[in-house]
Amino acid sequence: MKKLCILIIMVCLFGVIHAQINNNVNNNNNNIIINNQPVIEKVKYIEKYRTVYVDRPQPKRLARKLPSPVCLLGTIWVYTEDLGDFRSLSDANEIVNHLNARGACGRNDWRIPTSAELTVMEQYADKVGLGDGIYLATSHRNGILRPVSTGLSIAEKNQAADARRRQQEAEESRIRNAKNAQISLINSGQGIKDGNGLIWATTNVGAATSYSNGTIHSSYTGSNKWRLPSSAELRNIVNKASVTKRPDAGYLKTIYTYNGITLVQGRYLTSDGYYDVGGNNGITGSQGYVRLVQDEL
């Protein structure tokens, strides 16, 4: 009987000790804090760039893929999904370059966001589908990549290029038509008599960089009556002309008018050099307007 009582007492003591040990273990586990979260079971595995605890609570925000890019504040286009977690900007830029090479989502200027842009994206995290992780920005070198674009789409760029091309073609056509009109007028031999024995062409014929280039314009007419005026002939018109002002290509130019002959302020090419009508208006070097004359018969 005495032995039986001793055995019963030992079994009870063992149970108490075992319960106390289990209680201590549980208390220790409950006191473990990792990343501000209690850890229930110390089981972990290693991802590519960080340690992830299996028993961590799920993120408050789960990343999701969008059907199309989202525009924030009317200027920032956010890509449709996260594209991996990176330790360097160069690795992330390689992915961005692939996106731009294939014109992903109709755009070819995707890039890593700036810190300011990432702040805006965080403000609209639910709208753009950001997760609860650390996102990459140009100011730091690790995180999840979510590219942004702030330029025109490929279609918009093509439309702008087409508009510029049409505008250029229209301007070239205008210049060509104006030149053809000038040539036709010069070829007709018509002009304005100045009352001093000269007939002046009704308009300037472009500009030239040398006397020899200026005389080419005289070949517009088969009779070759047209020629460059002399400095004295130009001066004679200027001295007798009335003077007015008018805007021209962003400048306020002085206009000299005499007997219907109009000369604009600037350098004119002459048969004996150059003559500045009212001073130089920005035409520099040896370039000058060409205004042809012919002797009245």
Please compute, for residue 264, the number of CA atoms within 13 A of its CA located in the half-sphere on the CB side. 20
pLDDT digits (tens, 9 = 90+) for 120-138: 999 999 999 999 888 999 8
Contact partners, residue 19, CB within 8 Å, separation at least 6 = none
Determine the residue type at 126: D
Q: What are residue 137's phi and psi, to 5 degrees?
A: -140, 165
pLDDT digits (tens, 9 = 90+) for 185-216: 666 667 888 888 898 988 887 777 766 666 66
The proportion of the chain whose per-residue pLDDT surpasses 70, expressed as a percent, equals 68
Model confidence band, residue 297 (pLDDT cutoffs 50, 70, 90): confident
Mean pLDDT of 44-64: 55
Mean pLDDT of 267-288: 74
Contact partners, residue 84, CB within 8 Å, separation at least 6 = 92, 95, 144, 145
Mean pLDDT of all residues in the chain? Answer: 78
pLDDT at 226: 82
Q: What are residue 189's phi and psi, to 5 degrees?
A: 80, 0
Q: Does the pLDDT at position 243 exceed 50?
A: yes
- Name which of 52-61, 74-83, 163-172, 232-241 the model is least confident about: 52-61
Look at the pTM and tell me if it is higher than 0.85: no
Model confidence band, residue 158 (pLDDT cutoffs 50, 70, 90): very high
**Is the CB of residue 163 less than 8 Å from the CB of residue 112?**
no
**Is the CB of residue 294 less than 8 Å from the CB of residue 190?**
no
Q: What are residue 132's phi and psi, to 5 degrees?
A: -100, 15
CA distance 212 to 32: 95
Query: How do beta strands 51-53 and 44-46 pair?
Result: antiparallel
Mean pLDDT of 271-278: 85
